[in-house]
Amino acid sequence: MNPVEQLREDWGKLESRLRAQPDFHPACDNCALDACCFEPVFSDYAEVDDILARLTPEQTKDLKHAVLLWYQGAKAFFHLEQEGIAFPYRLGCVSCPFLKQGRCSIYAFRPIACRSHYALENPQGCLMPARAQQKYACFEQCKPFQAIAVRYVFAVGTLKTDHFGLLIYNRLCDTNEESKAAHGYQVEEKV
Ligand code: SF4
Ligand code: SF4
């Protein structure tokens, strides 16, 4: 089992425990909206590489086209995020390159950021502009979640997190190392 598969398994077990708690009622159950797939999703290269390795050549070709569109729509917001402002990305309404006909095309292998994204109120509140007031579950202070994250970081050795779309773009479209470095806001944690 590679570190990404282990991460999915660990999260699956924790999610089962969370759902068994009487006070955990995420709005996401049976939600048919795709509003959260317009959110900024953060991932790392190990997770992206695991997902890319599971795609057929045809899916990879489609993804290359989709991620170019994503990049064209999202790049205007990168410099704003450097200032710590996340909301401009949402206002851009840029969909994840894996969103097809309103559904996730890699649902079984979607990133941990998507798996752990739970709205707590009415799903309609995930639509813009109401999304600014939606309440979401936050696991940053959840010790079992922290333990999973630490296990993953040690397993991959080096963690580079960035926009899911940007990491895919770097892998599939952008072969210019200077261009990659110029984005300049990747978070790197060495262990
Ligand atoms: S985050 Fe919102 S839009 Fe996404 S599945 Fe949950 S309720 Fe639906
Ligand atoms: S990976 Fe799937 S669930 Fe996650 S944002 Fe993209 S389309 Fe949505």
pLDDT tens figures, 8-21 = 999 999 999 999 99
- Does residue 99 sit in helix, strand or coil? strand
- Give the pLDDT confidence score for residue 145 in this predicted structure: 92
Cα of 176 to ligand 1 centre, how many Å?
36
Residue of 31, 39, 41 with the most ligand 2 atoms within 8 Å of its CB, for mutation? 41
Residue 37: nearest ligand to its CA? 2
| For range 146-167, the mean pLDDT | 91
Identify each DSSP E strand in the chain by its residue range.
42-44, 99-100, 103-104, 158-163, 187-190
Integer Cα distance of 126 and 32 in angstroms: 12
Q: Is 37 touching ligand 2 by the criterion CB < 6 Å?
A: yes
Average pLDDT, the chain: 86
